[in-house]
Amino acid sequence: MKEMEYNYDKRKTSDILHEGECLGIPFMIINCRHDHPCAYLKVPEGSKYVGMDYTKIPLECHGGITYAGEYPLPVEDPNKMPKGYWIGWDYGHLFDFSATSAHYGWDTSGKKWTTKEVYDELKEVALQFVKLLSEEGSNAKKLHR
């Protein structure tokens, strides 16, 4: 697990801070362009959530689900991105710290999330997701295939 570093540079790409499986669900935590962290869970193939509008996915997380797509945000080496459908949320909201805000002299009083704090919340969201998948008859263990 790498620690989240807030360091504004509009040329920087995103870095993977932590990845693996949580409750059988592949996940990634990314440092989004060194501005704020984002968390992602992979949706199992065949799930009704594949291709679903992210605003319709009933998961509670920081700021709500803000992304659904074929891969997490771009990182330094796109070849490292696992294939599949992913859902995600970010920690760059109004009451969160943003390196961009600090760079431009805007409000910097927001919370600076650590990778561990993001992972702790990701575990709670993964638990909700496993329950949703079991209700639809999906098997979270199929995710890593």
Q: For the segment 15-37, what is each residue's pLDDT rounded down to a tens digit?
A: 889 999 999 999 999 998 889 99
For residue range 87-97, what is the model confidence (pLDDT) as tens digits? 999 999 889 99
Q: How confident is the model at residue 141 (pLDDT cuts 50, 70, 90)?
A: very low
Q: Indicate whether 107 pLDDT > 70.
A: yes
74 band by pLDDT with thresholds 50, 70 and 90: low
Helices (H) and strands (E) in the chain, counts: 2, 5
**By percentage, how much of the chain surpasses pLDDT 70?**
89
Q: How confident is the model over 38-49, as pLDDT tens digits?
A: 999 999 999 999
- Structure-block tokens of residue 145: 């295939």
110-119 pLDDT, tens per residue? 999 999 999 9
Which pairs from 84-87 meet CB under 8 Å and 24+ separation? 84/26, 84/42, 84/43, 84/45, 85/42, 85/43, 85/45, 85/49, 85/50, 85/51, 86/28, 86/40, 86/41, 86/42, 86/43, 87/40, 87/41, 87/43, 87/49, 87/54, 87/57, 87/59
For the chain, domain boundaries: 15-144
pLDDT of residue 145: 42
**Rounded to whole angstroms, how far apart are CA atoms 27 and 76?**
18
Q: In terms of Cα–Cα distance, which of 135, 142, 133, 106 is closest to 24?
A: 142
Cα(130)–Cα(140) distance, integer angstroms: 6
Question: Which tokens sit at 93?
Answer: 């909201």
Q: Whole-number mean pLDDT of the chain?
A: 88
Burial of residue 77, with CB atoms counted within 10 A of its CB: 0-12 exposed, 13-18 middle, 19 or more buried: exposed
Report field, pTM of the whole predicted structure over 0.75: yes
pLDDT bucket at 144, cuts 50 / 70 / 90: very low
